Amino acid sequence: MTALDAAWADRWLRECARVLAERREELIDLDRAIGDGDHGENMDRGFRAVVAKLDEARSDSIAAALKLAAMTLMSTVGGAAGPLYGTAFLRASVAAGDRDRLNGPAVEALLAAARDGIVARGKAEPGDKTMVDAWTPAVKAAAAPADGEAALEAAASAAEAGAQATKPLVARKGRASYLGSRSVGHLDPGAVSTSYILRAAVTAAMSEISAGGVA
């Protein structure tokens, strides 16, 4: 385990890009089933752009890295996910403040800020079959551990469970809501991508590889 510092934030975003490129097709398929099939492409495009920005100028704080991600996602992802993830990373960046390391409570504060940003923008409630259903249990799970890495691990596992739990739900927000009860039986793509993003944070925390080495 390494510290949750600026280098970790850089590795996190790069790991997001790697995982979302790998999961592009899967997320496209999930979105084809109950949406319009672009979620995988949108996320891949967005995080690819984040990496390009990181390569241009290394961010020297957690807050700076997250803000860079926020602005880049906002201007490259488009769709519903763009403003939602953009807002999430922007609020997380504000929550990170001038901290140069995150402990458990800091991780929780950061995730809570992200979740609140998504809810403020998208007005979804838990159970509406959106990414909120991954973020909400993640925030809750992050509350217990004092240790930052443990909080992230708890959050990622809760997000994964939350994403899986969207399967039986009827969508009430976003494109999938047009389907009504026909949305039942499918995972929400945004909840799944949220779980990948949080799992990427854990992977980055466990990684010894320096930021520059992962693209």
Interface with other proteins (CB under 8 A): 28, 32, 35-38, 41-42, 45, 74-84, 86, 121-122, 170, 172-175, 177-180, 182
- Integer distance in angstroms from the first to the last C-alpha of the chain? 20
Rule CB under 6 A: say whether 174 interacts with ligand ADP: yes
Per partner kind, with CB cut-offs from 5 to 8 A, the member of Mg ion, other proteins, ligand ADP, none near residue 14 is none
Please answer whether residues 47 and 16 qualify as being in contact, where contact means their C-beta atoms are separated by less than 8 angstroms: yes
Closest CB 150 distance from ligand ADP, rounded Å: 27
Burial category of 178 from C-beta neighbours within 10 Å (exposed 0-12, middle 13-18, buried 19 and up)? exposed
The residue from 10, 15, 38, 149 that contacts Mg ion (CB under 5 A) is 38
DSSP element (H, E) containing 64 = helix 62-76
Nearest to 112 by CA among 130, 128, 148, 88: 88
Pick from Mg ion, other proteins, ligand ADP, none: which does 191 bind, CB < 5 to 8 A by kind? ligand ADP
CA proximity to 165, closest of 208, 195, 141, 139: 195
Q: Dihedrals φ, ψ of 169, to 5°?
A: -80, 155
Quick one: three-class SS letters along 79-119? Answer: CCHHHHHHHHHHHHHHHHCCCCCCCHHHHHHHHHHHHHHHH
Nearer to Mg ion, 153 or 188 (CB): 188
3-state helix, strand, coil in the chain (%, to 5): 70, 0, 30
Shortest Å, Cβ 151 to ligand ADP: 23
Q: Does 132 bind ligand ADP (CB under 6 A)?
A: yes
Residue from 20, 104, 189, 202 in contact with ligand ADP (CB under 6 A): 189
Least spacing, CB of residue 39 vs Mg ion, in Å:
5
In this complex, which beta carbon is closest to ligand ADP, that of residue 79 or of residue 137?
79
Please, what is the minimum distance in Å from the beta carbon of residue 109 to other proteins? 24
Nearer to ligand ADP, 51 or 88 (CB): 88
